[in-house]
Structure 1
Amino acid sequence: MSTKTQNKSWIVESYDEICLYENVSGGKGSSLADLVQQEYNVPYFFILSNSAYNLVENLADLKRFYSRLATLKIFQTRRILQISKEIQQAILAVELPKEFRNTVYRHAKTQSDFNSWRSSMVGEDSVSLSYAGVLRTELFVNLQAPSDVDKVYLGLLAEAFSIGAINYRIQNNASHEISLPIVVQKQIDSDAGVVYFGQNQVSTEKSLLSACYGQCEAIVSNQISAYRYEADNHTFDIKLVSNNAQLKQLRPNFETRELEWVEISADLASMAPLPDFVLQQIVKFGQQEAQRKGGPRDMEFSITFENNEPVIWVLQSRPVTKKIVSDLGPEDNESPVLARGIPTSPGIYYGQVITPGSIPESLKPGCIFLGEEFAPIHDWTLGSISAIIADTGDDASHAAAKGHEFNIPVVLSAKNSDGVPISQLLKAGDEVTIDGYYGIIYSGKSDIRVNWSQELPPQNSINQDGLKTKLVVNCSFVENVQEAVEQGAKGIGLLRGDFLIPQFPLSYIGGSENIGIQAISERLISSASLFYEMWLNSQHKHGEVVYRTFGPKLHEMRDKIGSEPWHNTLLKNHRDPSTGLQGVSLSLHPLYIDAFIMELQAFKKAWEQYPNLVLMFPVIRSQDDCYELVDILTEVGLNNKSRRPKRLMMCELGINFTQPESFLCHFDGASIGGNDSRLSLTLLNRDGSEASHRYNANDPLLIQTYCDYIVTCVRLGKSVSFCGNLPSSNPEICKQFVQAGITSISVGTHALPAAEKVVRETEKLA
C-alpha cells in the first residue's frame, strides 16, 4: 500500500462522507459526522479510523489473545486480571511508525493546540451495546511532539482491554475482536457545561439536565455536584431540582498547557451556571434530535459566551439506554428507611454490602458496592456486583453510566435524615435493599415491588412494536422487493443472485462484461434504494439488503439463458444435483471465476451508492474456500479494512455447524439455510425422495443443532439469521431461537404476518 493511501485511511475528516460510516469512524464519530451534516455547531474533529486501529492490532499481535478472551466467564476475576494486563502491556509496548506519528501530530495541531481524544467503538452508543462509561476520554491533550502520540493513542486503545471493558463484553455476549476508532476534537474552553438526559427514570415526558461552570467532564467524573434540573419535554419549562454551590471549575491553563481546577468567587458560586433560556434551548435541541432519530437522546454540551451571548456546542449525542417504568408502585412505607439519595439507574435489589477496603476478599456474585464514590478504578468489580450505593454523584456520574450499561440499580449522594453519608452508616457484610426507582436504601430486606418495566424500543426503528428480533424477507425476484417494503419488512434477508442476474453470468464474458455489470448493478440498486432511508434513519440497524451471490444447483444453472455452451463442460450433469459445482465451488472454478469477478464488480458499483447492501456466499465447503474468497474480494476492492461491505456466509453444511469458528472468522455473520442444512445434516429431502416420509422439519436434534450454532455466533459477536418459514410455523421452535439470541428471521413475504405474531408472543415469554 502506498504512503498516500495509508495516510488517507488513517485519518478521516469530519466532513468526508465516509465519516458517516460506523465501521470507519465508530459510533461516536459517525454520530458526530451526522450532526455535522445537519449543520449543527460541532467543534472541528477528525477520526483516527479503524484502519489506524488495525495497524496497532497487527503491531501488538492482538490476535494471539482472542481465543483466550473468548473462553472467559463473567466471574473469572483472576483470569481476566491476568489477560487484561498482558494485552495492555502489548499495546503500550508498540512503537508507532514515524509517518503515523507525524501525520496525526500535524492534524491535531491544525485547528488547536488543545484537543479532546475520545474512544469511538464500532457499535458504541447503540441501545444494545452503548459502552457508555466503559471507555476513556482524554481532555485538553496538548501534543508537544509527534512522539507524544504514542502515549495518548495507545493509552486509549489499551483501555478497551481493561478489566471493566472485558467484563462488559462478556456480560453482553460481545466479541473481543473490537474495532476502535478515536475522535480527536478541538477542545472548547467551556464557560459552562451541560449533560442532558432525554428522559427521567419513569417517563419520556420529562428530561434531566446537570449544569456546571467550566467543563462538563467535572460532572461525569463525579468530581463536583452540579445544578440539577427537570424539564418538561412539551412545554420546555425548567424546574430546579437541587442546588449545589460549585466552588471550583475545570479550566485550561494556557501557560502550563494543562487542565487544572480554578476557584470560583463566592458571588459566582451562589449563582446558577446558566440562565433558564439557555437550558430551554438545549431541551428543544434534544427533543428535535429525538424526533429525527426516533427516540430520546443523551447529549453533552459546552457553552461559551461571546460578547455576552451564549454559543452552544454539541460534544456528544447517543441513544438513551436507561429502562423506563410503565407502572411504578408506591414507596415501601413499612420497612425502615436507612438513607435517601439520587436514583440514577432503576431496579430493586437485596444483598450484602462490600466496601473498597473489603475487596477483593469479599467480592462475590450478587454483592452491593458501597463507597464514597464509584470511580473507574472500581470498574473491574462490574459483572460481580449487582447494585451501587455511594456518598456522592448524580445522573451524569460514572456510576450512573455503569448502572445503565450493566442494568443494575444505582443510588448516589445517599445520606440519612441527619445528613450522615451512607458509607458511614454501613459496613461490609450488612444487608440492605436498594430501590433505584425512588432512591431509597432500606435496612435489611424490603418487600417493595415494581409492577413492570420495559426496555426502550430500538432507536428510530420502523419496528415500533418493540420486537428485538428483526423480521426480514426472502425475495427471489427484484419485483418482490417493493411488496416486502409494503408488508413492513425490516430488510431483505435473501436476494438471490440466481434469479437477479438475467442470464448465465459466463455469457457476458468475452466482450459484454460492462453490459453484465450494468445489468446486475441496476437490479441491486433498485432493491437497495427502497430500504436505504430506513437504513440511514435506524443508524444502520435495519434496512439491509442481503445479496447472495450466484451459485444455484446444477439443474437450475442449466436452465439459465446463455448456459448452453457450458452444458458439456462446466455444467456436466450429476446424478445428485445437490453435489458438484454449487455456491463458492462454482464461483472459484477456473472456468467460471471471470464471471464471479464481474458479479463482484457489479456489486461494488451498487454498494458504493447504497452501502446498505450486504454480500452473502452460499455453500462454503472448506477453509480453502474462505481464503480464496477473501483473496478475490481483496483483488476487487471489497476487502478494504477501513471500509468494506458486511459479508455473511450461508450455514448449510455439516462442517459449517461442527467447526463454526473456522468459518465465521472470515465473515461478519451467518444465515442458517433451513432447507439445505436439513438435507446436509440428515440426508433427507422433503421433495422427490423415497424416504421423504421420514422427513421431519421439527426434529429436536436438528433444532438443537441450530440453537447451538446461534449461541456460538452470539458468543463470537457475529450476527445470525434463520432463512426459512420454520420459526413462523412453530412457536416453540421460534422461542428456542429467540432465547438462543438469534438476530433476525428471514421468511417469505406471505409468511411475514404469521412470523410477526409468533415472534411477538415468543419475546413476551422469553
Structure 2
Amino acid sequence: MVESDGAWVIWFEALRRRDVPRVGGKNASLGEMVGELGAKGVKVPPGFATSAEAYRRFVEANGLERTIAGALGDLEAGKATLAETGQAIRRAFLRGEWPEELAEAIRAAYRELCRRRGRDDADVAVRSSATAEDLPDASFAGQQETYLNIRGERALLAACRRCYASLFTDRAISYRQAKGFDHMKLALSVGVQAMVRSDLGGAGVMFSIDTETGFERLVLINAAWGLGENVVQGAVDPDEYEVFKPLLADASLTPIIEKKRGEKARKMIYTSEADSPTRNVPTSKAERAAFVLDDAEILTLSRWACTIEAHYGCPMDMEWARDGESGELFIVQARPETVQSRREAGALKSYRIGKTGRRLAKGLSIGDAVVAGKVCVIESAHDIARFVEGSVLVTSTTDPDWVPIMKRAAAIVTDHGGRTSHAAIVSRELGLPAVVGTGDATRLLHDEQEVTVSCAEGDEGFVYEGTADFSVEELDLAAIPATRTKVMLNLANPAAAFRWWRLPCDGVGLARMEFVINNQIKVHPMALVRYGELEDPEARARVDALTAGYGDRTEYFVDRLARALARIAAAHHPAPVIVRMSDFKTNEYANLIGGAQFEPKEENPMLGFRGASRYYSPRYREGFALECRAIRRLRQEIGLKNVIVMIPFCRSTREADRVLAVMAENGLKRGEDGLEVYVMCEIPSNVILAGDFAERFDGFSIGSNDLTQLTLGVDRDSEALAELFDEQDAAVKWMIRSVIGEAHKAGAKVGLCGQAPSDHPEFAEFLVGCGIDSMSVSPDSFIAVKRHVAEAEAEPQKAGRAGQA
C-alpha cells in the first residue's frame, strides 16, 4: 500500500511554491498567492488541493500502473497509435472507483468550503495541476482539463476522476515524450476552487510582459464577457489593454497606453444541466460595443500583475475573473511566462519585407518573422490527419488537440482568438509566426495556395498572395559601440514601437503624428469638430462607424492619438521622444475622411498651407487644439513626460510666437511641467535667424530633405532634377554647419532626422565634425550609423576636417 506523508487534501493557505511535488505547479502557485500576497491586496478565491499521494492511491487502488505501462509500451513498440493509447488509459481511469478514505477526504473538504462560502452545494472550479507543469523550460498550459460550475459531492468526485484521466490526453502524452518526461513518475493534483461568477461578469488572461517582443515594462490584459475559457481557447476576439508598468505607482496617473475593443461575439455562462454545466451563447450588441473593464479595473489588475511578478521574481502569465454579483476582481491562476523570458537577450533578428502580392487577410501578429508556403485549410480536428507537413495551417481556432500538427506547420493563421489564445501561446513556444483573429481566413484562403505570412510589420499580421520578397538579419546587440553623439530612432508606426526596445538608442528623434492620423484615426479632425457641417453622407456614415462608443466625436481623435503616441513614448521612456505635430500637405489632408470639404486646393502643396501656418489659422485652429489635447493627455494623464513637441515648417519668428501662444491656450506652455518645444530646421530662414529661433525653442531638428530642396531650389520629387538633389551639396552643408554653431551659441540642442547618415558614412562623419548633438535614423540602419559615428568620434581630427569641408 502507498504510504501517505500527509493529508490527501491540503487547503490553499497551507501550500507554498515549494510544494510543487505534492500538488503541482498550478496549485502550489495558488497557495503561494493566498498565503503571501493576500495581505498585499491580491484576491484569490479560496479552495483546496488533492495531493499527489491521493493520485497515486487512486492509481494503486484500481491497478492502473500495469494498464498505463502496457499501453505506453505498445505505443513505443509501434503496436498502437497515440490516439489508441490515450483512449485506453483514459477509459481505465474513468472506470476506476474511489477508495473510500480518499473520497471522504474530498467530500469533507468540499463541505467545509461550502460552509465557508455560506451556501449548500457551492459552485466550484475543478482544475488539473500536474507535478511537472510550468517548469522554467516547459509549459504544460492547457494540457490537462478544467471543469467549471461543478456542484455537489457526486459531481465533484466525477470531475476529479476526469482530471486524473486528462493526465493522459493525446497532447499530454506527446508533449512529455518530446520533452523527455517519465510518464510513470508524474502525478496529478486536483485544485477545487470557489467559482467566481464571471459568467455574470467577465474574465481573461494577463501577462506582465509583452508577449510578442518581450518588452518588460508592459502589462497585457485580454478580456471577454462570461467565463474565461473562451479567451484561453481563442474562441473569441477579446478586448486588449496595455499598461505601462513604471508609472503605476503614481495614483494620479492613468498609464493605459492601449485599449482595443474586441468583437466578443459569444460568452460562456452557467446552465442548470448536470452533464453540461456551462454553454456558449451570443453576446448582445451592447456587450460587443462595450469594453469589459473600466480604467480603474484595468489599473487594479495591472498593479496586481506587478505585485505577483515582483514576488515570483520573473514575468508571469495569469488568469483573472470579475464576479458579476459582487463586482470583485480575482486572480484564479498564475504561472511563470515561459517564452519571452527564455529568449536570448543579446541577439535580435530583424525581418524586412519588400515587394508583396495582394493582401488576402490580416489579424494580430504573433512573433516577428516572415514565412512563405502553401496553405492547408483544416476546419475540424477530425481532419488533422490530412495536414501536409511544412504548410501554413489555416483554421478557425485551435485547442491543445491541435498541438501535434502545429509542430509540423510553417506558420499558423486563425479566424478567431487574441494574443493570449491557445494558437498564440503555442505559436510563440514553437517559434512560429502566426496571424490570429483574422475573422475570415478559412473562407478567403484555399488549399495549396502560395502565400506569405508576415508578422514583421508591427501589431498587425498580414497574409499576402504569392511569395513576397523578404530578408532577415541577425543583430548582435553586444557588439554595438557606445558614442558621445546621441543616435536616436525615427519611428512612425505605434504598432511596431516595442519591436525595437532592445536597441541601445538614445530615444526617438522623430515620431510623425500624421502617420498615426492617417493610419489609425483616418478622419480629418475638422470633420469631427464640425461634424454638423459635414455635407458628404458617405463621410458621415464612416465617421459614425469609427466613432461608435464615443459620446463626443472629438474624443475619438484625442483618445486614439494619445494612446498611439504613448506606445512609442513608453517603449523608450525615460529617454526623450520628439513628437512632430501634424505635417500633412493640403492634398494629403483632403484624402482623410471628410477632409475634402475643409481643405483648399493648391497648385503647390509642398510650399503651401502646411506646418505651423495651419495651427493658428481659423481653417485648422480647432483641429490643432485636438492635437494639443492629445499631447496634454499623453504627458499629464498617462504620465509620459519624456515627450517633446516639435513644430514643423515654421517660416518666421512671428509665426513661431503665434503657434506658441495657441499651444499655451491649449494647456501646452513651453517650460511648464518640463515641456520642451523644438522646431524643424527645414527652411533657410530657420538657419539665417537661428539665434532668434533659439530664443523661442529648446532645440532644432534638421529636416535634411526639405532643407536641401529649399536651399538648392530643387523639387525633391522631380525625376528630371533628381541628379541635382544632393544633401551633401556644399550649400546644404554650409546651412547645417551654420545652424549647429548658432544654436549652440544660444544654448539650444540640434539633431538631424534624415536618411543621409544611413546612406553615406562620410555624411555622419561630417555631422560629428560639426558637433551635432544627435542623429535620428530608421531602426534598420541604427547599428550601421552607430558604427559610423563611433569611428568618426575615434578620429576627431578627421571628423573635424569633415565638419569644415
Q: Give me the TM-score of the superposition, normalised by structure 2.
A: 0.50
Secondary structure of 1:46 counterpart:
strand
Q: Which residue of 1 is the match for residue 717 of structure 2?
A: none
1:17 to 1:101, Cα distance in 2 relative to 1, 3 A = closer
**Structure 1 residue 57: deviation in Å?**
2.8
Alignment of 1:724-735 (within 5 A): none
| Alignment of 1:281 onto 2:300 | yes
Alignment of 1:575-590 (within 5 A): none
**Structure 1 residue 213: deviation in Å?**
2.4
1:410 to 1:78, Cα distance in 2 relative to 1, 3 A = farther
Residue 20 of structure 2, aligned match among 12, 19, 22: 22
Q: Which residue of 2 is the match for residue 315 of structure 1?
A: 332
1:111 to 1:71, Cα distance in 2 relative to 1, 3 A = same
Q: Which residue of 2 is the match for residue 84 of structure 1?
A: 86
Identical counterparts, % of pairs: 22
Secondary structure of 1:373 counterpart:
coil
1:422 to 1:18, Cα distance in 2 relative to 1, 3 A = closer
Instruction: For 2:68 and 2:50, locate their aligned partners in 1 and report how far apart those are by CA, in whole Å.
Output: 23
Instruction: For 1:134 and 1:344, locate their aligned partners in 2 and report how far apart those are by CA, in whole Å.
Output: 21
Instruction: For 2:468 and 2:64, locate their aligned partners in 1 and report how far apart those are by CA, in whole Å.
Output: 51
Q: Does the CA contact (< 8 Å) of 2:266 and 2:283 recur in 1? A: yes
Q: Which residue of 2 is the match for residue 164 of structure 1?
A: 171
Map Cα deviations across residues 549-604 of structure 1 (whole Å, 9 max, x no partner).
Answer: xxxxxxxxxxxxxxxxxxxxxxxxxxxxxxxxxxxxxxxxxxxxxxxxxxxxxxxx
1:7 to 1:283, Cα distance in 2 relative to 1, 3 A = same
Q: Which residue of 2 is the match for residue 229 of structure 1?
A: 241
Residue 194 of structure 1, aligned match among 187, 196, 204: 204
Q: Does the CA contact (< 8 Å) of 1:108 and 1:115 recur in 2? A: no
Q: Which residue of 2 is the match for residue 704 of structure 1?
A: none
In structure 2, give the amino acid aligned to 1:231: V
**Structure 1 residue 77: deviation in Å?**
12
| Alignment of 1:118 onto 2:127 | yes
Q: Which residue of 2 is the match for residue 571 of structure 1?
A: none
1:447 to 1:150, Cα distance in 2 relative to 1, 3 A = farther
Alignment of 1:45-64 (within 5 A): 45-58=47-60, 59-63=62-66
Q: Does the CA contact (< 8 Å) of 2:351 and 2:369 recur in 1? A: no
Q: Which residue of 1 is the match for residue 180 of structure 2?
A: 173
1:380 to 1:225, Cα distance in 2 relative to 1, 3 A = same
Q: Which residue of 1 is the match for residue 353 of structure 2?
A: 332
Q: Which residue of 2 is the match for residue 11 of structure 1?
A: 9
Q: Which residue of 2 is the match for residue 384 of structure 1?
A: 408
Alignment of 1:72-151 (within 5 A): 79-112=81-114, 113-143=122-152, 145-146=153-154, 148-151=155-158
In structure 2, give the amino acid aligned to 1:61: L
**Structure 1 residue 422: deviation in Å?**
1.4
**Structure 1 residue 392: deviation in Å?**
0.9
Q: Does the CA contact (< 8 Å) of 1:193 and 1:301 recur in 2? A: yes
Q: Which residue of 2 is the match for residue 394 of structure 1?
A: 418
Map Cα deviations across residues 17-60 of structure 1 (whole Å, 9 max, x no partner).
Answer: 57841000100111111111212321111111101211233324
In structure 1, give the amino acid aligned to 2:394: L
Secondary structure of 1:196 counterpart:
strand
Q: Which residue of 1 is the match for residue 678 of structure 2?
A: none
In structure 1, stretches of 5+ residues that fail to align are 416-420, 455-766
**Structure 1 residue 176: deviation in Å?**
2.0
Q: Does the CA contact (< 8 Å) of 1:373 and 1:393 recur in 2? A: yes
1:266 to 1:443, Cα distance in 2 relative to 1, 3 A = closer
Alignment of 1:209-220 (within 5 A): 209-220=221-232
In structure 2, give the amino acid aligned to 1:339: A
Instruction: For 2:165 and 2:191, locate their aligned partners in 1 and report how far apart those are by CA, in whole Å.
Output: 16
Instruction: For 1:262 and 1:23, locate their aligned partners in 2 and report how far apart those are by CA, in whole Å.
Output: 39
**Structure 1 residue 252: deviation in Å?**
2.8
Alignment of 1:605-620 (within 5 A): none
In structure 2, give the amino acid aligned to 1:278: E
Q: Does the CA contact (< 8 Å) of 1:116 and 1:186 recur in 2? A: yes
Q: Does the CA contact (< 8 Å) of 2:354 and 2:469 recur in 1? A: no
Secondary structure of 1:317 counterpart:
strand
**Structure 1 residue 137: deviation in Å?**
1.1
In structure 2, stretches of 5+ residues that fail to align are 115-121, 249-254, 477-805
Q: Does the CA contact (< 8 Å) of 2:16 and 2:32 recur in 1? A: no
Q: Does the CA contact (< 8 Å) of 1:164 and 1:381 recur in 2? A: no
Secondary structure of 1:225 counterpart:
coil
In structure 1, give the amino acid aligned to 2:267: Q
Q: Does the CA contact (< 8 Å) of 1:20 and 1:31 recur in 2? A: no
**Structure 1 residue 104: deviation in Å?**
1.6
1:305 to 1:386, Cα distance in 2 relative to 1, 3 A = same
Alignment of 1:314-713 (within 5 A): 314-323=331-340, 327=348, 329=350, 331-336=352-357, 337-345=359-367, 347-356=369-378, 359-414=383-438, 421-436=440-455, 438=457, 439-452=461-474
**Structure 1 residue 375: deviation in Å?**
3.2
Secondary structure of 1:396 counterpart:
coil
In structure 2, give the amino acid aligned to 1:440: F
Q: Does the CA contact (< 8 Å) of 2:26 and 2:333 recur in 1? A: yes
| Alignment of 1:238 onto 2:245 | no
Aligned CA-pair RMSD: 3.3
Q: Does the CA contact (< 8 Å) of 2:351 and 2:368 recur in 1? A: no
Instruction: For 1:152 and 1:60, locate their aligned partners in 2 and report how far apart those are by CA, in whole Å.
Output: 20
Q: Which residue of 2 is the match for residue 272 of structure 1?
A: 291
Instruction: For 2:384 and 2:209, locate their aligned partners in 1 and report how far apart those are by CA, in whole Å.
Output: 36
Q: Does the CA contact (< 8 Å) of 2:389 and 2:408 recur in 1? A: yes
Map Cα deviations across residues 67-117 of structure 1 (whole Å, 9 max, x no partner).
Answer: 76479689x897222212221222222122233333323322432421111
In structure 2, give the amino acid aligned to 1:165: A
Secondary structure of 1:318 counterpart:
strand
Secondary structure of 1:166 counterpart:
helix
1:90 to 1:79, Cα distance in 2 relative to 1, 3 A = same
**Structure 1 residue 233: deviation in Å?**
2.2
Larger radius of gyration: 2
1:402 to 1:247, Cα distance in 2 relative to 1, 3 A = closer
In structure 1, give the amino acid aligned to 2:399: A
Q: Which residue of 1 is the match for residue 270 of structure 2?
A: 252
Instruction: For 1:244 and 1:272, locate their aligned partners in 2 and report how far apart those are by CA, in whole Å.
Output: 8
How many positions carry a matched residue from both structures?
442
Instruction: For 1:330 and 1:447, locate their aligned partners in 2 and report how far apart those are by CA, in whole Å.
Output: 11
1:346 to 1:84, Cα distance in 2 relative to 1, 3 A = farther
Secondary structure of 2:32 counterpart:
helix
Secondary structure of 1:393 counterpart:
coil
Residue 35 of structure 1, aligned match among 29, 33, 36: 33
Map Cα deviations across residues 130-172 of structure 1 (whole Å, 9 max, x no partner).
Answer: 21122221111123x43x3453122222222122112212222
Secondary structure of 1:234 counterpart:
helix
Q: Which residue of 2 is the match for residue 721 of structure 1?
A: none
Q: Does the CA contact (< 8 Å) of 1:168 and 1:383 recur in 2? A: no
Q: Does the CA contact (< 8 Å) of 2:450 and 2:467 recur in 1? A: yes
Q: Which residue of 2 is the match for residue 639 of structure 1?
A: none
Secondary structure of 1:62 counterpart:
helix
Instruction: For 2:437 and 2:207, locate their aligned partners in 1 and report how far apart those are by CA, in whole Å.
Output: 18
Instruction: For 1:87 and 1:181, locate their aligned partners in 2 and report how far apart those are by CA, in whole Å.
Output: 18
**Structure 1 residue 453: deviation in Å?**
9.1
| Alignment of 1:300 onto 2:319 | yes
Q: Which residue of 1 is the match for residue 491 of structure 2?
A: none
1:239 to 1:93, Cα distance in 2 relative to 1, 3 A = same
Q: Give me the TM-score of the superposition, normalised by structure 1.
A: 0.53
Instruction: For 2:16 and 2:238, locate their aligned partners in 1 and report how far apart those are by CA, in whole Å.
Output: 38
